[in-house]
Structure 1
């Protein structure tokens, strides 16, 4: 039976304008960093994507190296597009990135024009697309001139491979320079994708201000700190199937400290008092910033998508709640 999305998919989702652009993104976006690779179960990933779209999640975020193996997440998403979402292509935003190691030799990493254009072409082929909506440079390159990298993004947009240019993991000063170059080229930077959560707050040290000044959107990756800010770790220890338990994961067992577990327990108690799960409160906390366009969630099961979308039911915080969170995190 062919997939028919929910007719009410746009009723509950909140859509936010990305900076000063004309593009709106769902407040909750779905990232395919984990659980969509060649080592994962296709039908599970397919069910997650379908449920996300049913809930009004119109933005699906990928990168050339997502898997494992690298490239396989884009292949998985391409298959889901072909089977389920092709009739709705104009209702969805697809993003991809290049900037980390992808293939052997001197042209398969970092930020040269050669690498970025070649990688974009490969990503389009894997997904079976004529263009992506957003194409990112995934991380700064200390050796390639910034002008070359930004000119490559400009070319990718002007050649029709992407509709918008974006960057990820850029510090404030470099972000300011990149924004100026892209603006001069006539292809403004749409959005920046940094890591941000209650446990990773570096962007509060200037990047959010830069994005606000420049009129650039912000979409936070790892807003749940690789699953730490969920109910998975409330029992203490490392549960089977969690990211910290997987050999190819980025969350390592030594990241799950006794101090973190104690903080998670206290934050969960506060979330319960708000009538939310810990994950919902953590997402709402990230979305409270006026510069924040969207949060980028990962999911290993359909229920996690439902839980994340439920965060939108309560996005406001009292001054006392924010102060209590700061106290728990040791930042007060």
Structure 2
């Protein structure tokens, strides 16, 4: 593939209903490509290129990154930077590229949390790795209990006003802190565009106030881990396969997967998905996208086939009241913990 010239599919916008981000003028594809754990060093670069190419051909316009995505930290941005230069140099204005800072990125007192120094330094480093003049969305990745929120939001405001980002976002913020952040940014003249929380059938915390908060504020939601890192797929119904994330990552445990309660719930959801003509993953994606506040669901992909199957969830996003009631029996908050 490396010597093959790439031209995006002429039909890439024909079959996607792009969703408005809150009350802004920006629209995103309902499924976005999240680059958290599948785009680090050591991955086949041609496979990564093929995934991004196929995503764009299927109407995906949004690539979501953070400074620490990899592994190791920074490598996902470097890989995407190379792919953008190789295949999308003439299509930058058709893509929404986002990145974040807020978790540990480098040693010392200035490489973590939410200080102005950390956020703006990190953004400059991200732009260098991506080989871009700007990102479309720059997020603060998590609440900082010690730095004044005015300082953190002031850094996002400067990122936008300096031209290094087009929009400001936050991630992993509580409803109360989201309202405070939106107020501060609004007073500075840089509206809060988007919030990025985790949300899935097994992690339903956004229903406890955040959905109402973003609706009131006119802020969009980009939800991450809608498949709960693979727990809401058919991958683990027969145990833990070799090479799976549960064996290679500390984020999932074999004990969690073998828990009879998890197995009972995932089997119940799988049966509902089967009756709808969907896989469990497709059901899980459609379920989070049913909320009008949810602009997009961030989905990782380790293969083109997996990407295609996930995007096929968009073929059936409607639910009956009976289906939602049946899902609620098994979609229990806290199952993933």
- The TM-score bracket by the shorter chain reads over 0.9
Alpha-carbon distance in 2 for matches of 1:330, 1:223: 14
**Equivalent in the alignment of 1:56:** 59
- Which structure 2 segments of 5+ residues have no match? none
**Equivalent in the alignment of 1:322:** 324
Match of 2:123 among 107, 120, 125: 120
- Write out per-residue CA displacement over residues 217-263 of structure 1, whole angstroms, 9 at most, x where no aligned residue: 001000000011112123x211122211214x522323312211221
**Equivalent in the alignment of 1:10:** 13
**Equivalent in the alignment of 1:203:** 206
User: What is the aligned-residue RMSD (CA, Å)?
Assistant: 1.0
- TM-superposed CA distance for 1:268, in Å, is 0.9
Q: Is the 8 A contact 2:201 2:332 kept in 1?
A: no
1:252-331 superposed matches below 5 A:
252-256=253-257, 257-330=259-332
- TM-superposed CA distance for 1:310, in Å, is 0.7
Q: Is the 8 A contact 1:281 1:311 kept in 2?
A: yes
Alpha-carbon distance in 1 for matches of 2:331, 2:207: 15
1:141-290 superposed matches below 5 A:
141-234=144-237, 236-247=238-249, 249-256=250-257, 257-290=259-292
- TM-superposed CA distance for 1:57, in Å, is 0.3
Q: Secondary structure at the match of 2:91?
A: helix
- TM-superposed CA distance for 1:330, in Å, is 4.9
Q: Is the 8 A contact 1:227 1:242 kept in 2?
A: no
Alpha-carbon distance in 2 for matches of 1:272, 1:322: 14
Structure 1 residue runs of 4 or more that deviate by more than 4 Å after TM superposition: none
Alpha-carbon distance in 1 for matches of 2:253, 2:123: 30
- TM-superposed CA distance for 1:42, in Å, is 1.6
Scaled by the length of structure 1, the TM-score of the pair is 0.97
- TM-superposed CA distance for 1:184, in Å, is 0.6
Alpha-carbon distance in 1 for matches of 2:123, 2:332: 42
- Write out per-residue CA displacement over residues 38-97 of structure 1, whole angstroms, 9 at most, x where no aligned residue: 132222211111110010000000000001110000000001001111111000000000
- TM-superposed CA distance for 1:308, in Å, is 1.2
* Greater CA drift, 212-221 or 299-308: 299-308
Q: Is the 8 A contact 1:217 1:292 kept in 2?
A: yes
